[in-house]
Amino acid sequence: MPTPKVKTRRLLLPPHLIQSALDGRLTEHRVPVEPQFTITDSGLWMGNGKAIIRHVGGTRFAKPRVYTDAELLRGCAEHFCPTPVGTLLWVAERWQKVCGTFEEYAIYGDGSYRSYTPQTGYVSALQRCGEFSHARLKPASHMPQWASRLWFEVTAVRIEREGDKWEWVYTLNRVEAER
């Protein structure tokens, strides 16, 4: 049986979180839930006026069951999360592309770089370079997947309430990506 293809998604982080990821301190990432949930008196969880999860009734063989809030949260995280467990996230950051004769180079804000050979798909290990101008760095939204130096696997997902807003909380594990 063929193994299912792992989903990959881009993760845009601010510079201070990129630095904490490079230092190994980034283990969780929070994303606001869109649309936000509310709980009504009838027990429905609503998002933009549509029922997302309801306290379901039984079949003709089973009695109706009322779910606890913990079960609803777990079910919501399992079934409605936009980034499920097992997804690989690649971090996009400000970078600069330099084209050589046979290779392309991705230079990052801290002066490190890696090379990419388009003909073979080979990506080199991260290396350090000398001084360069930060003025020519491109925005993170323009970074291709091959140039990413930070990869994370989502190992757990939960939903939490922070004040009056709901947030997805992803537990991340840093991995070496197979390119």
Q: Helix/strand/coil (H, E, C) string of 118-169?
A: CCCCEECCCEECCCCCHHHCECHHHCCHHHCCCEEEEEEEEEEEECCEEEEE
Q: Are residues 100 and 56 in the same domain?
A: no
Q: Are residues 60 and 85 in the same domain?
A: yes
**pTM metric for this prediction:** 0.73
R_g over Cα of the chain: 21
pLDDT digits (tens, 9 = 90+) for 106-142: 778 777 777 777 766 666 666 666 555 555 778 888 8
pLDDT of amino acid 60: 46
Q: Are residues 13 and 70 in the same domain?
A: yes
pLDDT digits (tens, 9 = 90+) for 97-115: 777 666 777 778 777 777 7
Q: Are residues 138 and 80 in the same domain?
A: no
Backbone angles phi, psi at 14, to 5 degrees: -70, 160
pLDDT of amino acid 70: 67
Q: Are residues 105 and 67 in the same domain?
A: no
How many structural domains compose the chain? 2
Q: Are residues 12 and 68 in the same domain?
A: yes
Q: Are residues 109 and 32 in the same domain?
A: no
Q: Do residues 90 and 150 lie in contact, with contact meaning Cβ atoms separated by under 8 Å?
A: yes
Q: Are residues 67 and 107 in the same domain?
A: no
pLDDT of amino acid 26: 92
Give CA–CA dist 10/147, Å, rounded. Answer: 12
Answer whether residue 18 is part of any domain.
yes
pLDDT digits (tens, 9 = 90+) for 36-78: 766 665 555 555 555 555 544 444 444 445 556 666 667 666 6
Q: Are residues 51 and 72 in the same domain?
A: yes
Answer whether residue 83 is part of any domain.
yes
Q: Read out DSSP for 33-80?
A: -SSPPEE-TTS-EEETTEEEE------SSS------HHHHHHHHHHHS
Q: Are residues 84 and 26 in the same domain?
A: yes
Give CA–CA dist 133/130, Å, rounded. Answer: 10
